[in-house]
Each structure stands twice: as C-alpha cells, then as structure tokens.
Amino acid sequence: MHQVVIDGPHRVRVEDAPDPTLPGPGGAVVAVEATSICGSDLHFYDGDIPVGDGIAVGHEFVGSVVEVGREVRRFRPGDRVLTASVAGCGRCEGCATGDPVTCVEGPKVFGSGALPGGQATAVAVPSADFQLLGIPEGMDDESALLLTDNLGTGWAGAQRAEFAPGGTVVVLGLGAVGLCAVRSAFALGAGRVLAADPVSGRRALASDSGAVPIHGPTVDAVLEATGGRGADAVIDAVANDATLGDALASVRPGGTVSVIGVHDLRPYPLPVLMGLFRSVSLRMTTAPVHRTWRELVPLVANGRLRTDGIFTHRFPLSEAPRAYAAAAARGGDCIKVMMHP
C-alpha cells in the first residue's frame, strides 16, 4: 500500500508500506476512497509537534470495508464507512458514553503514531463496531469526511460554549473547523455569530454562512458590537496565545470560552485572576465524534446543516507534498484539501 509520511518541517513523502492486517478479531481493514488534511496535521507539517523519525499521518478518511474480524457484527466487506478520528476500546464505561476521550484504556488518534495514518490506500481499524459508521445512502464524500472530525469538533465547541438561544457567539479562526463552528452555532440557536480571521476570503465564507465578519482588533470589534459588554460565548478554533487572549478578553462576565483549536505546546500565561473576577468558564475539548453522529447525521442528511463550500481543493494522494503546501498556505482560496488514493 501507499501512505503519507511527515518526517520534519515541510517534509512530506508518499511511501510504500506493508498492506494492513486485521488488528484483532474485532477490527476491520478499510480501503480508503477519500482522505483529507486537517489543521491538526499541519502542526506536524509546520514543526509545532515533533515527529521523530517520521509519522504516517491522517485521521480523516472514508472508504469501503475489505475485511472484518470474526467478532465484528455491524459491518461486512463492501460496506461504505467513515471512521471517527479518535478511537477508544469500545467496551468500557467511557466509550459507552460515545466519547473515546474518556476511554479507560486511553484515547488514540489515527495518524498520531498510536494508530496508522488515514492518508493511505488502506487502514486497519480497531474496534470496528464502535469505531465505524455506515455512510448513509446519498451522502457525498465531503459530508462524510467532515463527520470524521471537523464537523463534530465545531459542533462540540458550540455545544460546550453553552450560550442561550438568541445569544451572541464569536468564532475565532475560520478554517474548516471554524466554519463548522459558525454553522453549528446557528443550528444550536445563536442569534448572532461574529466571525474573526485575518484572511478576508475566509471571512467572506463565514458571511455566506450567516455570520457577521469582524475587522481590525478582535476585542475592540466585539466590544463595539455588543455595546461594551462582550459576547455570551467565544469559540476559539485556533488556540494560539493571541487568540486565547482575545477570547478571554472578548467574552462577557459570566460567559464561556470554548477552545477547540490545538495549541503549540508552549506555556501560555493564563490570566487566572481576570477569569476569576469576571466568572469566566473555560472549556476545552477534543470532539466526542461518535456521540455527535446521533445529532449530526440527520441534520446533514436532511439539509438542515450545510457542509458545502468547505472543501476547496482536491489532489491525488501521490501529490501529497503539493496538497500540504496548499493547505499550509492558509489562504482565502484554500480552506480544506481532499486527497484520493
């Protein structure tokens, strides 16, 4: 098979690897038909997270089952499936909640070194009955890929922001996850979403989803838009020091900051005293992807939650270096990249 490997900053290659085998009697092997680059993958590409001698990357993929273990009950060869980016054992009390982050054995992410990368021609998937979801009839690859991670992350970020119906929500960062958070906030009852990103093309896409793009210094713009009070909730889809500072300064007293971006691992000077005196709730999460499927699949399948316009570029898997370069430019014309083996 072929797989994408990152072995240093801006160093991507497609290499031959042994074909995957069943990861136990409860596992499956999936032939990948479409995979995508996530903002989290770019942390490996940019060098924010060390990769050692190299890592087979990718945690967003859809495809067809080619083999199942003897204990698998829900899937058979030929079934078209998507998988959650985060895996759990599927048997413990944590996984029973639909949130593998709380797995007793510890969560594992595809393409992080703990599990094989999904940017490949085939992937071994453990705990298939828990980990896989059959792709509904008529659902396109764009929607299915977003259900593996980005849409669930945006949805969880909006849910954990805990704003009341009609509330004002700020979304910081308008990549794929941020745009999903904008749409999710509206679906969950936000009356107004203010959208911030330094790239004008990304603000325009958020505006197309109903958000109000904000310009200039974020905190000033939010305070002006809210009469000096601040937003009911802020969803930070970037989570660098600058956006975390903006989020904490933009939320109203008693409001919530919901962090779904991936920080760069350097120490952050959290303004605890300010948060204490203003009674700010700070919540952070990796999406409970499995749990979100119960809500998101019907919303997407029935057209109540849009998934269009987020994938902007497509490449063959063999051109992964070009695909990563396009995604890493973070321009207004390239939001999310799909690759086909």
Q: What is the pLDDT of residues 130-149, one digit of tens each?
A: 999 999 999 999 999 999 99
**Domains delineated in the chain:** 2-149+288-340 (3.90.180.10), 153-284 (3.40.50.720)
Q: Provide the pairing of β-strand 192-196 with 212-213.
A: parallel
Determine contact, residues 337/60, Cβ cutoff 8 Å: no
Task: In whole angstroms, give the CA distance from residue 182 to residue 188.
Answer: 10
Specify the 3-state DSSP secondary structure of 314: strand
The pLDDT-based confidence of 265 (bands split at 50, 70, 90) is confident
DSSP letter for each residue of 159-182: HHH-PPTT-EEEEE--SHHHHHHH
68 phi, psi to nearest 5 deg: -130, 155
Query: Half-sphere exposure of 130 toward its Cβ, with a 13 Å CA cutoff?
Result: 22
The model's pLDDT over 212-262, given as tens digits with 9 standing for 90+, comes to 999 889 999 999 999 999 999 999 999 999 999 999 999 999 999 999 999
- Cβ proximity of 5 and 54 under 8 Å: yes
Strand-pairing partners, residue 139, are none
Task: Check residue 253 and give its pLDDT.
Answer: 98
pLDDT score, position 264? 83
Instruction: Give CA–CA dist 6/326, Å, rounded.
Output: 15
Q: What is the mean pLDDT of the chain?
A: 96
> Quick one: how far is CA 288 from the chain centroid?
11
What is the per-residue pLDDT for 103? 96
| Half-sphere exposure in the Cβ direction for 57 (13 Å, CA) | 30
pLDDT tens for residues 266-289? 899 999 999 999 999 999 998 999
Q: DSSP characters for 200-245?
A: HHHHHHHHHTT-EE--SSHHHHHHHHTTTS-EEEEEESS-SHHHHH
| pLDDT tens by residue, 101-113 | 999 999 999 999 9
Give the pLDDT confidence of 307-334 residue by residue, as tens digits: 999 999 999 999 999 999 999 999 999 9
**pLDDT given for residue 303 in this prediction:** 93
Strand stretches in the chain, DSSP E: 2-8, 11-16, 28-36, 55-56, 61-68, 80-83, 86-87, 108-109, 122-125, 132-134, 168-172, 192-196, 212-213, 231-236, 251-259, 281-284, 311-316, 336-340
In the chain, % of residues over pLDDT 90 = 96
| Per-residue three-class SS string for 241-254 | HHHHHHHHHHEEEE
For residue 266, the model assigns a pLDDT of: 87
Average confidence (pLDDT) over 184-210: 97
Dist CA 232 CA 253 (whole Å): 8
* Integer angstrom CA distances of residue 101 from 134, 246, 265, 290: 22, 27, 19, 10
